[in-house]
Chains A and B, each alone.
Chain A
Amino acid sequence: MTRPHIEPYVELNEDYKAFGLPGFTGSDFKTLSLDPETGACSLKVRFNAGYSRKPGMSYSDMELFVLGGTMQLGDQVIGEGHYLFVPAGMALPAITSEDGCETLVFFNDAEPHWQESDEHHELTLKAGYVSLNTYKDAPWSGGSIVSPSVATGCMIKLLRYDPLTEAMTFLYCMTPEFMQDNISYHDCGEESYHIWGTSWMMQFGDLPTGGYFWRPPYINHGSFRSKLGCIALGRTDSKLHNYFHFNPWTNPSENLHRAASMLYRQRPQLFKWVAAHGGHNHPHGPVGQTAAVAPTDVAPTDVAPNDFEHVDYGDDPQVQMLANQVMRFLEADRSGHHHHHDD
């Protein structure tokens, strides 16, 4: 189970609901998206004036972004633009909000969970804690932290990066008259909340202030425009690679196949290893197989994936040479690790 494709959703049109779960009484919430099985979720939470809770921890990683107002976190006052990443099991000090504040709250592993505690869980990965005022204490940098890259005029502030999954949390903005004439998709889930301003994508139309999306992998989005500019909080759940193209009618399956074809061409040894060890009973993988159409005696995973953009890429001499290479260590890897059910 995973979260459905919620795009676009403008939360400003909806009413808050009273939040009754432990740690949240005295606040109201709107669900932006959630995973029906684990309860992992993205919420807008309004902590009402007079809200207070004791020191406590959650069994889920938690992120919080202050949209407006202030909150007392132990002896620290945090306000507009403040971002927290709180690793599961890390106890936060008491929280109060005298005058109230509006926030985005993300629980990454489970439902909104909190229990009173003034001690960290012994297993907490406390080094992952992030606390900073993103407006005051982080500079805008060019959007080209990944390549292929967004067009100039889309800038980012990277707030958190997970070394295992390359999941990211970041602020991004688009300058007035921003434009980017391509269609993008990614291998990761992508999420955004528009703090202020409007951007436009040619699939979904305008995304205004308070606009939100949770977009699963391989879904087309763009081209992009922003007439007057915008600022947004973005997140991915794993590595963000920009696959750009110009075919508005492709579906997520075609996009995935094209991404796989790029792995086949661009990381051929990795592709072969994954195909051989990916649980498909193919100890020998696609070594030497370059045809874009399946020969009858070769299993489907042994075949170069279809690429709607470069239909004949399997004929390219360099691609063929790469596909035919057999690394000596890969041979050893193969003979030494037959832990799949290949009989």
Chain B
Amino acid sequence: MGDRVQHKKPSMSAEAREWLEQETDAQERRYAGIVAEQEALTPDREQWYAQFLEIVSTRGFNVTGDQRRVIPEDELPTRPDRDDAMNVVW
């Protein structure tokens, strides 16, 4: 195995370290904002999921490309009794 340029990198400068810390903090706030925003969408999402199950059981589910399979009623999933069931941001 040969060496790579990346392995020769000088360690992070103090300036870069500070930049990274600031941006990491900002990203944590951004993440928290996204989680809150997405939680607020839950009522819409419940409808979207219901519409989706309606579509895959009538017009069909895209197996690959444009190939569709109509999902029989007894194969349709049901919402599990679990705290993270409506999570979309992980």
Binding site for B on A (CB under 8 A): 4-9, 20-22, 31, 33-34, 36, 39, 41, 59-61, 87-89, 109-113, 121, 123-125, 144, 147-152, 180-182, 202-205, 216, 219-220, 223, 242, 244, 246-249, 251-252
**Contact, CB under 8 Å: B62 / A111:** no
What are 21 pairs between A and B in contact, CB < 8 Å? A5-B89, A7-B34, A9-B34, A59-B6, A61-B6, A88-B4, A109-B9, A111-B16, A113-B9, A113-B16, A148-B65, A152-B65, A181-B52, A181-B59, A182-B62, A202-B45, A205-B41, A246-B56, A246-B76, A248-B53, A249-B49
Residues of chain B from 1 to 46 with CB closer than 8 A to chain A in the complex: 2-6, 8-10, 12, 15-16, 19-20, 23-24, 26-28, 30-31, 34, 38, 41, 44-45
**Contact, CB under 8 Å: B12 / A31:** no
Q: Which size bracket describes the interface of B in this complex?
A: 35 or more
**Contact, CB under 8 Å: B87 / A251:** yes
Given A4-B27, A34-B20, A223-B52, decide whether A247 and B6 contact each other with a Cβ distance below 8 A: no
Given A181-B59, A244-B62, A248-B77, decide whether A36 and B27 contact each other with a Cβ distance below 8 A: yes
Given A121-B8, A249-B77, A249-B85, decide whether A41 and B49 contact each other with a Cβ distance below 8 A: no
Report chain A residues within 8 Å CB of B90.
5, 216, 219, 251-252
Residues of chain B from 37 to 90 with CB closer than 8 A to chain A in the complex: 38, 41, 44-45, 48-49, 51-53, 55-56, 59-66, 68, 71, 76-77, 79-80, 82, 84-90
Minimum CB–CB distance from A223 to chain B (whole Å) comes to 5
Once the chains are docked, how many angstroms separate the CA of A251 from the CA of B90?
9
- Name the residue of chain B whose CB is nearest to the CB of A60: B6
User: Secondary structure of the A side of the interface?
Assistant: loop
Report chain B residues within 8 Å CB of A20.
15, 19
Given A148-B64, A244-B63, decide whether A39 and B20 contact each other with a Cβ distance below 8 A: yes
- Name the residue of chain A whose CB is nearest to the CB of B49: A248
Report chain B residues within 8 Å CB of A8.
34
Minimum CB–CB distance from A192 to chain B (whole Å) comes to 15
Once the chains are docked, how many angstroms separate the CA of A204 from the CA of B66?
23
**Contact, CB under 8 Å: B85 / A246:** no
**Contact, CB under 8 Å: B5 / A124:** yes
Once the chains are docked, how many angstroms separate the CA of A233 from the CA of B2?
32
Given A34-B20, A34-B27, A204-B38, decide whether A123 and B2 contact each other with a Cβ distance below 8 A: yes
**Contact, CB under 8 Å: B3 / A123:** yes
Report chain A residues within 8 Å CB of B62.
151, 180-182, 244
**Contact, CB under 8 Å: B20 / A181:** no
Given A4-B27, A247-B77, A248-B49, decide whether A89 and B5 contact each other with a Cβ distance below 8 A: yes
Once the chains are docked, how many angstroms separate the CA of A150 from the CA of B62?
9
Minimum CB–CB distance from A308 to chain B (whole Å) comes to 8
Once the chains are docked, how many angstroms separate the CA of A216 from the CA of B89?
10
Report chain A residues within 8 Å CB of B8.
59, 121, 123
7 tightest A-B contacts by CB? A89-B5, A59-B9, A148-B64, A203-B88, A88-B5, A247-B77, A202-B48
Once the chains are docked, how many angstroms separate the CA of A51 from the CA of B86?
47
Report chain A residues within 8 Å CB of B71.
246
Using A6-B27, A249-B82 as known contacts, list a sample of 5 further A-B pairs with CB atoms less than 8 Å apart, ordered by residue number in A: A151-B66, A205-B41, A220-B88, A244-B61, A249-B77
**Contact, CB under 8 Å: A6 / B34:** yes
**Contact, CB under 8 Å: B9 / A60:** yes
Minimum CB–CB distance from B27 to chain A (whole Å) comes to 6
